[in-house]
Chain A
Amino acid sequence: MTLTFLIHQSKAFWRSKNTGKSIAMRIVMGILILYLLLNVLVVAFFMDRILEKTYPNQEIIQSFNSLLLYYFLIDLLMRFQMQELPTLAVRPYLHLRINKNQLINYLSLTSLGTAFNLTPLLLTLPFLIKIILPEHGPAGISAYIIAIIGLTLTNHFFSLWLKRKVNLNAVWMLIFFGTLILFVSLDFYFNLFSISALSARIFNSLIAAPLYCIIFLLAAGIIYLINYRYLKSNLYLEELHSADVSHKSSTEIPFLGRFGMAGDLAANELKLILRNKRPRSVITMSLFFMFYGLIFYNRPDFSAYPIIFCGMFMTGIFIINYGQFMFSWQSAHFDGILVSKVRAKDFFKAKFLLFTMFSTLSFLLTIPYVYFGWRVLVIHFIMFTWNLGVNTLLVLFFANRNYRRIDLSKGAAFNWEGVGASQWILSIPLLLGPFIIYLPFNLLDYPEAGLATIGLIGLLFILSREFWMNKLILQFQEKRYTIAEGFRNE
């Protein structure tokens, strides 16, 4: 039966309308994952030296042992963020003469095939062979390997279980993060409790008595059973609509009411962002970008290049991150927009309104960077102008050429749906634009003039926005059939 499911799923993949795109995306993803695993391998091979350098006063094995639990904690967090729930659309099988056990086993088995499960072993195996094997013999290394596999599986099924719980009720997420924060703060702020000491104790006793490793396998087995039983009792909910029972209320955003029809449309899009998973996670990621500057500004005497770069990303992250997928966000109801009395002009004005709102907010949030000097703030403002003037138009120009449907209910991390040539091409002018302007001025030793030019060009485009918007609208009228047709293809 498992084989039949596998065959069905491969058919679903190959016969999908978007097969070509999916294959290309998988290849890109595959290369990316390979690259990441390669990095892991490099770290793995030099693990002993790294540990030696970082903790010179400690025995290597001690450092290794005390770090293992931390690693699996981070692993759990990463899984929770990025691991996808296995997706066999079980709906067409539920009413057939197929045991639920078979379905669940399939779901559990296929879920194992993820890079997350490979990383822990890949990361530790070279170290184990180099250090543990000569010192503690085959029994020691087997105990370690079994324990690590056990922990990996525990994390794996625990994160699947937790994700399913969270899908039904977000309170579980609060509980999870609450517990984590509690432990971490107890460890780092109050020193009441030490995860590293615990970790060291656990693995030291493992060296003393290798048979303890059975406990880890047991833990994995237990969490597997919990997950299994949970799935079994909830299988009819799986993949169907989430049983979110909380009351949804109508909200109004009075501030936007002032902008007429464009304001109403922007309000709708704001609701789109807040009420759907994927755009919401785009916004969360954008918030993290606000810390981008900390990476580059920390060094003494940094040049203008990183400020231009970070300034553009921090003040324009919404335009870039959200805008690159325009109008795909609205793909599910694009037909409705076309037949309704929404004028193309208001449609575009709403986009500009949204861009301006979010960019202004980002700019305000980045004001504290003034700590690194006034120059930073001034350049941020220049890039803010550039974003509003140039990048908004650029993003909308490519939006007219984007025909890919997006499912709003999926997460954004590692989600390649809706990514196509237009996003890749868009990134070229987006990334290079300001540097092409700044570079010659800087080479001629007039950096200030270069910055002023960037700001002026931004301002010029803001002032002439009406003109460019009309051009975009003309294109939109021409392309709307193709866009609508692309959006209808699921």
Chain B
Amino acid sequence: MLKDLEMNNMIEIKNLKKGYNGVTVVNIPQLNIKKGESIGLVGNNGAGKTTLFRMMLDLIRPDAGEVLSKEKNVADNEEWKDYTASYLDEGFLIDYLTPEEYFHFIGGLHNKNKAQIDSELVQFTEFFNGEILKKGKYIRDLSKGNQTKVGVAASLIQNPQVLMLDEPFANIDPSTQIRLKNIVKELSREKQITTIVSSHDLNHVTEVCDRILLMEKGKIIKDIATNSNTLQELEQYFSVLS
């Protein structure tokens, strides 16, 4: 029985600590994320959101503790890469490729051929709004918002079980924001994909996510299941702070 419960944990964080020059940036004693949960990560600048993402993706070595994905430490093996897709910033994009080349490359990593990728990209026609494909531009020549679209779409075509997006709403236009929200909602509710999304827009996260983690100075100080009062609660917290 206990074993079954544990098995439901997609991601488990234990005693995770990271500091720079004596300042603690992340300090999370325990955090469990279940399969299919959709997590919204909020917090002011410098709260440690991106650092947390980077440790979950094994880009930064923690000072202490570990991140387990399907019960395996992400730093010790690479299996998590088979089912985890992510987009944190432009550093994830190969900017001298055209978007098509990049999608084909990412798809190839997951054993999909070009035709498969092309047919999968059709579902993003609306999301891309005619600005990404067949424009004859390298990724580096796209606007920041369009780069975000490429990064998000590239993580979605990997058919992940875990999806991590850092501030995906930040640079994109309102229509695309709405489309992205629908995509993320659908992923977690219908496909049981575990999603972790950070955002400064409290409306977005409370709408999309069913669990909100509030970070402050590296700690998770609130862990709430979303309900009708959540937005108010969060707004209150942030207005008191300022």
Stretch at the interface among A47-55, A181-189, A246-254, A369-377: A246-254
In-complex Cβ contact of A261 among B90, B104, B108 (8 A): B108
Residues of A within 8 A of B93 (CB): 333, 336
Residues of B within 8 A of A272 (CB): 94, 96
- Tell me the dominant secondary structure on chain B's binding face: loop
B128 CB–A CB distance under 8 Å: no
Residues of B within 8 A of A241 (CB): 141
In the bound complex, CA of A248 to CA of B95 (Å): 13
Chain A positions 317 through 346: 1 when the CB is less than 8 Å from some CB of chain B, otherwise 0 = 000000000000000111110111111000
Q: Which 9 A-B pairs have the closest CB atoms?
A: A247-B136, A336-B92, A341-B109, A481-B61, A335-B91, A275-B96, A341-B81, A333-B94, A339-B57
In the bound complex, CA of A396 to CA of B38 (Å): 41
Q: How far is the CB of A258 from chain B (nearest CB, A)?
A: 14
Known: A250-B101, A275-B96, A340-B81. A485 touches B91 (CB 8 A): no
A488 CB–B CB distance under 8 Å: yes
Residues of A within 8 A of B82 (CB): 341
Chain B positions 193 through 233: 1 when the CB is less than 8 Å from some CB of chain A, otherwise 0 = 00000000000000000000000000000000000000000
**A interface residues with partner B (beta carbon < 8 Å):** 241, 244, 247-251, 261, 264, 268, 271-272, 275-276, 332-336, 338-343, 408, 481, 484-485, 488
B73 CB–A CB distance under 8 Å: no
Known: A250-B98, A341-B81. A334 touches B109 (CB 8 A): no
In the bound complex, CA of A264 to CA of B88 (Å): 24
**CB-based nearest B residue for A343:** B78
B14 CB–A CB distance under 8 Å: no
Of B89, B96, B105, B141, most A-chain CB atoms within 10 Å: B96
**B contact residues, total (Cβ < 8 Å):** 33
Residues of A within 8 A of B64 (CB): none
In the bound complex, CA of A481 to CA of B88 (Å): 16
Known: A247-B136, A338-B59, A339-B57. A332 touches B91 (CB 8 A): yes
B7 CB–A CB distance under 8 Å: no
**B interface residues with partner A (beta carbon < 8 Å):** 57-61, 78, 81-82, 84, 86, 88-98, 100-101, 104-106, 108-110, 136-138, 141
Residues of A within 8 A of B96 (CB): 271-272, 275-276, 408
By the criterion CB–CB under 8 Å, are A334 and B91 in contact?
A: yes
Residues of B within 8 A of A244 (CB): 141
Q: How far is the CB of B18 from chain A (nearest CB, A)?
A: 11
- Tell me the dominant secondary structure on chain A's binding face: helix
In the bound complex, CA of A104 to CA of B110 (Å): 51
In-complex Cβ contact of A332 among B78, B95, B100 (8 A): B95
In the bound complex, CA of A332 to CA of B88 (Å): 13
In the bound complex, CA of A396 to CA of B93 (Å): 24
By the criterion CB–CB under 8 Å, are A335 and B59 in contact?
A: yes
Q: How far is the CB of A264 from chain B (nearest CB, A)?
A: 6
In the bound complex, CA of A342 to CA of B105 (Å): 10
In-complex Cβ contact of A249 among B78, B90, B136, B141 (8 A): B136
Task: List 9 other contacts, CB 8 Å, given A250-B100, A339-B81.
Answer: A264-B105, A264-B108, A268-B105, A333-B93, A335-B59, A338-B58, A339-B59, A339-B84, A341-B110
Residues of B within 8 A of A275 (CB): 96, 138
By the criterion CB–CB under 8 Å, are B92 and A339 in contact?
A: yes
Q: How far is the CB of B153 from chain A (nearest CB, A)?
A: 14
Q: How far is the CB of B73 from chain A (nearest CB, A)?
A: 13
In-complex Cβ contact of B98 among A248, A264, A333, A408 (8 A): A248
Residues of A within 8 A of B89 (CB): 335
Known: A248-B138, A264-B108. A271 touches B97 (CB 8 A): yes
11 A-B contacts (beta carbon < 8 Å): A250-B101, A250-B104, A261-B108, A261-B109, A272-B96, A332-B91, A333-B92, A336-B92, A339-B92, A341-B82, A341-B110
Q: How far is the CB of B222 from chain A (nearest CB, A)?
A: 28
In the bound complex, CA of A343 to CA of B141 (Å): 29
Residues of B within 8 A of A481 (CB): 59-61
Residues of B within 8 A of A333 (CB): 91-95
Residues of A within 8 A of B61 (CB): 481
By the criterion CB–CB under 8 Å, are A336 and B108 in contact?
A: no
**CB-based nearest B residue for A272:** B96
Residues of B within 8 A of A250 (CB): 98, 100-101, 104
Residues of A within 8 A of B95 (CB): 332-333
